[in-house]
Structure 1
Amino acid sequence: VAEFEHIWHGAYLKRTDSLVFDQNKLKIWDFEEHQKRDLLFGVDWGWNDPVAGIRCYEADGQLWITHECGGVHLTNEKIIEQLKTLPDMDRCISRGDCAEPGKIDMCNRNGFPRMVGCVKKFKSRGGENKLNFIETGVSHIRTYSQINVHPRCENFIREYGLYSYKVDSKTDEVLNEIEDDNNHWFDALRYALEPKIKMNTSRKVRVIYG
């Protein structure tokens, strides 16, 4: 995926040992959705960075990403227009970045009454250790045996091939810290998967709301 983006879309070619996710798990194809599925929706807000929306579900131990939406410099009106391109989102629970509650309220008033803020704070069951929501989400996504993505989800596909750990500029060592880049649709995916992440880690963590 990364090499494809480098050749055709001009993206920087990333070191494969610094990439966050296994590139062999990604399957890009025009699949038919399962009839029985629990649809999940997530939205990451932005302005200079893009607003990013994801529609997905779990089935057969795999992740299925069906639709995406988004763009930069979107007014509230344009955000609503973009979100309406995600089928069924108006009738399902969706999760937006809780850092901007005003955006969630705006969506509640304009066709998405079931949108709620995502949970970002996790602690160990005993409350001793605060867990990183990004790393917890990454660990959960790694549990899927395959990540199926519809070809129309071009932004997610691009980020999958670029989402990386930092590399020390002096030693060339891959660091245990994820770059804050190429992550907008991945953030939306983590928000969408929040209930699944919570379920997967319920024996290990206590979730704190707010």
Structure 2
Amino acid sequence: MFKGMDNPEKIKSIKGLSDVVMEEATEFNQEDYEQLTLRVREPKHKDRQIYLMFNPVSKANWVYKYFFELTQPDTVIYQSNYKDNRFIDARTKANIERFKLTNPAWYRIYALGEFATLDKLIYPNYEKRRLDPNSKELKELPDLFGLDFGYVNDPSAFIRLKVDEANKTIYFIEEFTKVGLLNNQIADAIKSMGYEKELITADAAEKKSIDELIREGIRRVKPAKKGPDSIIQGIQFLQQFKFVVDDRCFKLIEELENYTWIKDKKTSEYINKPVDMFNHILDAVRYAVEPINGQAAPKFKTYNISL
């Protein structure tokens, strides 16, 4: 039987199912899936199953959040890629591998079967490697620290980075993120990392939290300056730099690979506004670089020309 899920009423009368296949499962939503679990209930079938088939897309998709972020009982995940397909000839394989250079996001999704985004990334390029902050390369560079507050749904995010302004390079040294932290717990985390005496720039919207951190001994924390265009200005400032990320900064890497511009649904054009997801550490990064960011708005010169 073949049914569409554009109207869930279509499946409510179906009985006696042993198996359901959800083709292109990422095009469904979680409610669709849960409706289908209620249909697979025929007692005479002992091994009832639902198969979800899909090419991985963004980690913002419900499939990733439901099956990969959470541990679901009685669930098995099979991942395959083009290398497992014995029917692909050498020429087709070469064409697929060419996407490594021409379209890396497409290659990761459709060739390697990894979660990635096809939308326009805000920071599309970065280098990932192990960094030693005491190395000759980094030791003399200044440290900058940023903090973004979170609690129930969003994590609190703390970042340490070093900036080489002469060579327009930012080195991301260390991160800390966790959901559900009270301000005293954030203070304890900063102390345990050894940064309680450092100048830390934090989210200005959380003035009460900043005051509590100061009472907890993080005395040099200060609010970031926020203006009507501070997010875009901060992004544009950071885009001038090359990013080099320590390979242990897992959450930062995840955000870099998923932080995108908003796409207008009517025109399919990207607008100059970021999606408010995968941006907690990257917000902390914007705060961290504030001491070297002139916060300048675009300036225009006018000339009087006489003919």
What TM-score do you get using the length of structure 2 for normalisation?
0.56
CA RMSD of aligned residues (A): 2.7
Rg comparison, structure with higher value: 2
Give, in whole Å, the separation in 2 of the partners of 1:98 and 1:114: 14
Candidates 179, 193, 206, aligned match of 1:100: 206
CA distance in 1, matches of 2:200, 2:224: 9
State the 1:134 CA deviation: 0.8
Identify the residue that residue 196 of structure 1 maps to in structure 2: 292
Residue 58 (structure 1) shift: 0.5
| 1:140 aligned partner, one-letter code | F
Asked whether 1:15 is paired with 2:153, we answer no
Equivalent residue number for residue 54 of structure 1: 159
Look up the match of 1:119. Answer: 225
Distance 1:202 1:173 in 2: 24
Note the C-alpha offset of 1:42: 0.7
Shift of 1:91: 1.7
Q: Is 2:258 the partner of 1:162?
A: yes
SS in 2 for 1:43: strand
- TM score, norm. by length of structure 1: 0.79
For structure 2, the 5+ residue unaligned runs are: 1-103, 300-307
Q: Distance in 2 between the 1:82 and 1:15 partners? A: 35
Q: Secondary structure at the match of 2:267?
A: coil
Amino acid at match of 2:232: E
Secondary structure of 2:291's counterpart equals helix
Return closer, same or farther for 1:92/1:203 CA change in 2, 3 Å cut-off.
farther
2:118 partner letter: R
The one-letter amino acid of 1:19's match is L
Q: CA deviation at 1:117?
A: 0.7
Give 3-state SS (helix, strand or coil) of 2:196's partner: helix
- 1:6 to 1:82, Cα distance in 2 relative to 1, 3 A: farther
Q: 2:276 aligns with which of 167, 180, 202?
A: 180
Sequence identity (%): 28
Q: Which has the higher contact order (CA 8 A, sep 6+)?
A: 1
Equivalent residues in 2 for 1:27-46 (5 A)?
27-33=127-133, 34-46=138-150
1:45-84 aligned at under 5 Å gives the runs 45-47=149-151, 48-59=153-164, 60-84=167-191
What SS class does the counterpart of residue 262 from structure 2 fall into?
Answer: strand
Unaligned runs of 5+ in 1: 122-129, 205-210
One-letter amino acid of the structure 2 residue matched with residue 106 of structure 1: E
Measure how far apart 1:85 and its partner are.
4.5
Q: Which residue of 2 aligns with 1:109?
A: 215
Letter in 2 for 1:58: V
2:237 corresponds in structure 1 to: 140
How far residue 143 of structure 1 moved from its aligned partner, in angstroms, is 0.9
Q: Determine the C-alpha separation between the residues in 2 that align with 1:105 and 1:78.
A: 14
**Residues 120 and 67 of structure 1, relative CA distance in 2, 3 Å threshold:** same
CA distance in 2 between counterparts of 1:203 and 1:172 reads 27
Amino acid at match of 2:231: I
